[in-house]
Amino acid sequence: MPINILFAALPKRWTEYEAPLRAALDKHGLDYILETDLPPQDVDYIVYAPNSAVQDFTPYTRLKAVLNIWAGVEAIVGNPTLKVPLTRMVDSEGLTRGMVEWVTGHVLRHHLGMDRHIVNPDHDWDPAIPPLAPERPVAILGFGALGQACARSLQGLGFAVCGWSRSAKAIEGLTCDHGQDGLKRVLTHAGIVVLLLPDTPETENTLNAQTLSWLPKGAFVINPGRGPLIDDDALIAALDRGQIAHATLDVFRTEPLPKGHPFWSHPKITVTPHIAADTRPASAAQVLAENIRRSEADEALLYTVDRSAGY
């Protein structure tokens, strides 16, 4: 009997995903039906985006797993109708590469002080030389798939990187800390802080008035994680008094960021429209097909979400 796979995401995603997903499933020799509309009681797997029309999983009585095409799961992880395993997107060839490029680029922008040469209306000849990377400690809050990949890239350029996570970990070649005491230790030394935490009740306002004050004066904040990780008012206050030199923000509590939001016009804030790392269908399809293959072979799924932890 064929495996029934429902693709539940916005219609434009179907046009991007259908061909690569079929090719990846074919590569594994799987017998399957892949559609955007199937009788719920027949569905074995849902390839899923949390902004799809499927929000109630109750009618999917023989569902084996939901495979999220996004890395972030905050919009589905608490869904009480979801009773089967949930996986999230970890894709070293696509999503992770995108995040590494975006983070590395924005770290270098601030580290090198590029802005003062790009926008220089008074034609100032300012030969100030920036410090070298080893003199610019970078803190990465959230040291999972994306945080570690960014750390390796930045470390390769010579930055002194320290990660921060929920649990203690030993990762070859990388330095990291954990827990609330660890957060203070990590921030106290950071010239640049990058947020790559998931959005959970525990991570909300990780950067707040107090934790922002732990950063050295003139530090830079880069947030490609999720909007709620930062207390917006505390950030603006820290920018206005010079505690933070600049914040580059890709994610917001409300998206799209509403026109007229103070972030748009703040001279020390750069807004990017949640583009740090999109899922890339060609490589993401390989990850999705591999998980369906694994499940059908009774092997453990990759990248399963810990529903109790919220990520």
> Which residues sit at the interface with ligand NAP, rule CB under 6 A?
71-72, 90, 95, 99, 142-147, 165-167, 196-200, 202-203, 224-226, 250-251, 274, 276-277, 311
224 vs 281 by CB, closer to ligand NAP = 224
Helix 95-112 to helix 145-156 angle, to the nearest 10 degrees?
50
> What tokens were used for 217?
């004066």
> What tokens were used for 109?
């922008």
48/6 Cα distance (integer angstroms): 8
The distance of closest approach from Cβ of residue 228 to ligand NAP in the complex, given in angstroms and rounded to an integer, is 10
88, 226, 246, 280: which is the annotated catalytic residue? 226
The distance of closest approach from Cβ of residue 45 to ligand NAP in the complex, given in angstroms and rounded to an integer, is 21
3 vs 151 by CB, closer to ligand NAP = 151
Beta strands in the chain (DSSP E): 3-8, 32-35, 45-48, 65-68, 86-87, 137-141, 160-165, 175-178, 192-195, 219-223, 244-249, 269-271
100 vs 276 by CB, closer to ligand NAP = 276
71 vs 285 by CB, closer to ligand NAP = 71
The distance of closest approach from Cβ of residue 100 to ligand NAP in the complex, given in angstroms and rounded to an integer, is 11
Let me know if 117 is a catalytic residue.
no
The distance of closest approach from Cβ of residue 172 to ligand NAP in the complex, given in angstroms and rounded to an integer, is 15
261, 274, 294, 307: which is the annotated catalytic residue? 274
Helix 281-296 to helix 11-27 angle, to the nearest 10 degrees?
50
In the complex, residue closest to ligand NAP by CB: 144
Single-letter amino acid code for the residue at 124: D
The three-point CA angle 227-148-201 to 5° equals 35
Positions marked active-site:
226, 274
